[in-house]
Amino acid sequence: MNRPPKKFLSPGHNACAGCGQLVAVQAVMRGLDEDTIIANATGCLEVTTTAYPQSAWGLPWIHSLFENAASVASGIKAALKQKKDGKTKVLVQGGDGGTYDIGLGLISGMWERGENILYVCYDTEAYSNTGIQASGATPYGASTTTTPKGSESIGSTQAKKDMLAIALAHGLKYAAQSTAGYPDDITNKVKRALDVDGPSYLQILSPCIPGWQINNDEAVFMGKLAVETALYPLLEYKDGILNASSITGSFRAKPVAEYLKKQGRFKNLSEEDLKHIQSLADANLKRYRL
Ligand SMILES: Cc1ncc(C[n+]2csc(CCOP(=O)(O)OP(=O)(O)O)c2C)c(N)n1
Ligand code: SF4
Ligand SMILES: [Mg+2]
């Protein structure tokens, strides 16, 4: 009898219906093989897949603290080295809060040591699991529970931290960015990252239904629009050089308003704010055109 292929993340987890992060995770899992160990930071992904005593994971998987998933992965790598196991891959997963903010120092250490570990950040642009607080990944103009829109506020007025540039500054052999709108792109990037002998980083824009105030059938659509407006292009760097980008010679971006106006978190923007965000996309068109 033919058995269905083994799933590394089974159905039955309790993420919100339509969660963009879970779409992205499934695409990441399709890029792995069975000889993989996962260290997972605290966040929606961990909370929704491991309600004790159950687990949705079909691979060896360990939950760390919010801040130390990278160090746990380093420990796993050291144990594998001790056992002379050069075959088993190590993957770290965390949200943007765990990556851009609270785990950054330990991620930096892991990269500094040049360990052969893939780090994947699921960027929901907020601390989703604890009720949508602003993180270093929250973009200008987004309303969150710590940067709420109101009569005197548009939402966050901070710029989104350039985490990909921070990764590149560590001299990573492979660093890339994708979105939940392009699952095959995610899977291919995971495979290419794992082919590299050294540290690698993949950051995936993962639309969050309550956080972005979108309908539960819109996560993939928003992931596509983020790329089509050039606010979150698909990018891939090898040895620090940009070698793939969704902004090719003939690429024409859609206006950012098409993306922003469909999300409740951006409902308070003035014309001036729209212009500012358009200027961020225009800057991406120059910076990342191949
Ligand atoms: C040291 C510490 N501070 C705060 C928390 C509470 N906490 C758990 S999950 C979470 C939000 C995680 O945000 P992110 O990393 O972006 O992942 P997401 O839930 O958005 O996927 C927070 C603040 C914690 N577990 N540990
Ligand atoms: S709060 Fe957002 S990231 Fe968390 S499970 Fe729901 S949709 Fe996914
Ligand atoms: Mg998040």
Q: From atom 8 of ligand 2, which residue's Cα is the shortest distance away?
A: 19
179 CB under 6 A from ligand 2? no
* Ligand located closest to 46 CA: 1
DSSP characters for 153-215?
B-S--SPPP-HHHHHHHTT-SEEEEEETT-HHHHHHHHHHHHHSSS-EEEEEE---HHHHT--
Of ligand 1's atoms, which has the minimum distance to the CA of residue 124? 20
Q: What is the pLDDT of residues 47-102, one digit of tens each?
A: 999 999 999 999 999 999 999 999 999 999 999 999 999 999 999 999 999 999 99
pLDDT above 50 (res 190)? yes
pLDDT above 50 (res 139)? yes
Domain ranges of the chain: 20-287
b/e code 77-89 from CB counts within 10 Å (16+ = b): beebeeeeeeebb
List Cβ neighbours of 207 (8 Å cut-off, separation of 6 or more).
20, 124, 180, 214, 218, 219, 220, 222, 223
pLDDT above 80 (res 2)? no
The stretch 257-278 carries a mean pLDDT of: 97
pLDDT above 80 (res 137)? yes
* Mean pLDDT, all residues of the chain: 96
- Whole-prediction pTM value? 0.97
CATH architecture group of domain 20-287? 3-Layer(aba) Sandwich (3.40)
Which percentage of the chain shows pLDDT scores above 90?
95
Decide: 112 and 170 in contact? Cβ < 8 Å.
yes
